[in-house]
Structure 1
Amino acid sequence: MADAKKKSPHPIDCHVGSRVRMRRMMIGMSQDKLGEQLGLTFQQVQKYEKGVNRIGASRLFHISKILGVPVQFFYDDFGDEAELSLGFAEGEPGALPSSGSEFMDLLSTPEGVQLCKSFASIKDPQVRRKIVDLVRTLAAGET
């Protein structure tokens, strides 16, 4: 019976939490700062971000206002794998990353957020293309 009490987080709770984390990191906000604005500890924010604790509707609405996104943002890209991969690969062979979940995993890291912000600030399309080619070459060398 002890196993029945220990439940895994629901996939939607994990997804919503990861989207909270991604957006928080995108704007450079700490867990402490978000918790402070919500009247919570950073530990509670961690639990929300991991999906361990479910975020209630009113709290999610408050988080959306703090992070400057609509509530729908936290549910975007949740669905089956075929839906998640649309728009990421763009039909190009060897496109990076190869699936929506890998893309979201990348954006959930501090390095991924920094990489995306820095890459987006490059205005020259030729330079951007060369960077993509470089990353593709480096990634191919690891396999």
Structure 2
Amino acid sequence: MTTSVDRYVGERIYSLRLAHGLSRAQLSKSIGVTHQQVEKYEKGRNRIYASRLLIIAKALSKDISYFVEGLESDDNKPVVTQHQRMCIEVSRNFMRIENPDHQAAVNTLIKSLANKSMVDADKET
């Protein structure tokens, strides 16, 4: 039987996978399980062994501690900020763009805006 901790860890995997712009199939291939198994992990229906969580952490370029940060809270619910929600939404929408040239154009725009923000911040200091 799974617990709220399993659901919490699963939600962290789900959010991070989307933030990286990966499909379940892509993540499942890189960690050596089926995409159905990744879905079960993300929904907290299956427990994740520590060894598998370490593989997932490496695949998503995070330290294993990332997946349990915040569990000290009373309700074990992850605190998702508006910024995190927006990042997930942007990632979902980006993955729906079928034309690779359009994806590249969006990526170039984001990089340009990010660089402009950094230049503007440097001017203020």
Does 2:23 align with 1:21?
A: no
1:31 aligns to 2:21 (yes or no): no
- Alpha-carbon distance in 2 for matches of 1:66, 1:58: 13
Quote how far apart the aligned CAs of 1:43 are.
0.9
Q: Percent identity?
A: 32
**1:111 matched residue in structure 2:** 89
- 1:140 aligns with none
Task: Please identify the structure whose Cα radius of gyration is greater.
Answer: 1
Q: Who is 2:59 aligned against?
A: 66
User: Normalising by structure 1, what TM-score?
Assistant: 0.57
Residues 43-100 of structure 1 deviation map (CA, whole Å, 9 limit, x = unaligned) = 1100000110001010000001110000000011222259x8xxxxxxxxxxxxxxx6
Q: What is the distance in 1 between the residues matched to 2:69 and 2:18?
A: 17
Which blocks of at least 5 consecutive residues in structure 2 are unaligned? 93-109
Task: Report the CA distance shift for 1:109/1:46 in structure 2 as closer, same or farther (over 3 A).
Answer: farther
1:76 aligns with 2:69: yes
SS of structure 2 residue aligned to 1:101 = coil
CA distance in 1, matches of 2:58, 2:67: 12
RMSD: 3.4
Determine the C-alpha separation between the residues in 2 that align with 1:14 and 1:45. Answer: 13
Q: TM-score, normalised by structure 2?
A: 0.64
Higher relative contact order (CA 8 A, sep 6+): 2
Residues in 1 aligned to 2:71 and 2:32: alpha-carbon distance in whole angstroms: 28
Q: Distance in 1 between matches of 2:13 and 2:41?
A: 8
Structure 1: segments with no counterpart, 5+ residues: 1-6, 85-99, 126-143
Aligned length: 100
Q: Measure, in 2, the Cα distance between the counterparts of 1:40 and 1:107.
A: 27
